[in-house]
Chain A
C-alpha cells in the first residue's frame, strides 16, 4: 500500500462528555512521515480526541479530512486505512495468540500463517503463539495487540497510551515500530504520558490544555 497524499486533518473539533466541554476548537494536521504526540494532564481529553478521530465518539462540530476529502460519508474507506490501538487490547482469553490475530486482524486483510508468524516474531512473542491469550502476561497481551495493529497495514495509526504495561524493551519496540511506520510514509497519532520518541525528528506535539 502506498501512503502518497495521505494527509490527515482535523478542523475545529468540539466535543462534549456529558456536560463538560472537553475539546475546544482542536485543529491539527498530520502528514506522511509524521508522528503526532498528544500530551496533557489526565482527563484533558486525549482519549476523547482519539475516539473522535476513529468515529467511536461523535464530535459536536468540526470535520475530519483524509486524503483531501471529508471523512463524513466515507467512514468505511477511512476506517480501513486506520489502525487503532485503544486502552483495551481487544483479545479473547480463550483463543490462542495466533487465533486472536486470525479472527480479528483477518477481518481487515487476508492473512497467511507466515505473515502471522512473522508479525508475532516482530513483537517478540512467537514462542507464545499457541498459548491462550488468557495465560499471557499484561505486557505480552499488549505486544499481541501491537501485532494486530501491524497486520492491519493501515496508513494512519491511532495509539492510546501504547506503552502501557510494557517493559523497557517493549517501549523500545513501540518506538521502533512507530519510526519504521512513519519512515515508510505512514502517519501516527499517539496519546502518551510516558517518554515516547521525545528526541525523534519525526515528532510533533499537540498539547491539550484544560
Chain B
C-alpha cells in the first residue's frame, strides 16, 4: 500500500463535508438559532408597538441584536463534541495545518447558522417596517458581520472548550469583541434609510472581517492545541 498524502485543500474540504453530513442528520440542532432569530424579531412588534413608522426607527438595530445573539447561541457547542470524542486530537496529529481544518469547520458552521440568518433578514426586516431599499445593505452588513462573528466565536469556543461551564465565559469573551460589528452594522442600515451612503461602516465591517479571517485560524489552532493537552 502506498499512501498519497492528502492535499491541505482536500483535507479542509473533507472537514467541511463532514460537518454538512452531520448537520443533515442533526438538523434540529442546526435550526435552533434561526428559530430563535425569527421568534425574537417577531416578538418586538408585539411587545412595543405595531406602528411601522415607529418600528422602522429601531428595526435595523433589532435585526442586528437578534442575529448576534442567535449566532452566539450556536457557538458553544462548536468544538465540544469533537474535543470530547477525540476527533480534534486526530486533527492535531494529521500532519495537516490545524488552522485550515478549523477554518473549514468554522466555514461549515457559518453556512449552517450564519447564512440562514442573512437570507432570512429581508423577511424579518419587513416585519419591522424596513423599506425594500434597505434590504441590500442589511444583508451585506449581516453577511460580513455573521462571518466575522463565526470566526471570533470560533476563537472563543476553542479557548473555552476545555473549561467547565465554558458557555458563560464564552459570552463574556465574544460579546465585547462583537460590539463594533453591532455598532457599524446597525449604523450602516440606518444611514441607508436616512438617505446617506452606508459605504463607510460597510468598509469597516469588511476590514474587520478580513482581519479575523487572516488571524483567526492562528488563534484557533493555538487555543485548540492547549485544549487537547488535558
Contacts and interface: CB of A to CB of B under 8 A. Distances in A.
Interface of A: 1, 54-58, 76-77, 79-82, 84, 86-92, 94-95, 99, 102-104, 106-110, 115, 148, 152-153
Contact of A80 (B5, B14, B89, B90): B5
A109 B14 CA distance: 12
B14 A1 contact: no
Contacts of A82: 93
Given A108-B94, A108-B95, A110-B6, A102 B14 contact: yes
Contact of A90 (B2, B10, B90, B97): B90
A107 B14 contact: yes
A35 B25 CA distance: 41
A94 B22 contact: yes
Contacts, number: 95
Interface in B92-125: 92-97, 101
A176 to B, nearest CB: 16
A209 B154 CA distance: 41
Nearest to A79: B95
Contacts of B228: 56
28 contacts: A56-B93, A79-B93, A80-B5, A88-B89, A89-B85, A89-B86, A90-B86, A90-B87, A90-B89, A92-B18, A92-B22, A94-B22, A94-B25, A95-B22, A102-B14, A103-B15, A106-B6, A106-B11, A107-B14, A107-B90, A107-B91, A108-B96, A109-B6, A115-B1, A148-B90, A152-B3, A153-B1, A153-B3
Contacts of A91: 85
Interface residues of B, number: 31
B26 A94 contact: yes
B4 interface: yes
B229 A56 contact: yes
Given A86-B86, A107-B15, A109-B6, 11 more contacts: A55-B92, A76-B96, A79-B93, A82-B93, A84-B93, A88-B86, A89-B85, A94-B25, A107-B6, A109-B5, A148-B90
A76 B97 contact: yes
B4 A109 contact: yes
A79 B22 contact: no
Interface in B168-221: none
A53 to B, nearest CB: 11
A94 B26 CA distance: 9
B17 interface: yes
A57 B229 contact: yes
Contacts of A76: 95-97
B21 A107 contact: no
Contacts of A148: 90
A106 B91 CA distance: 11
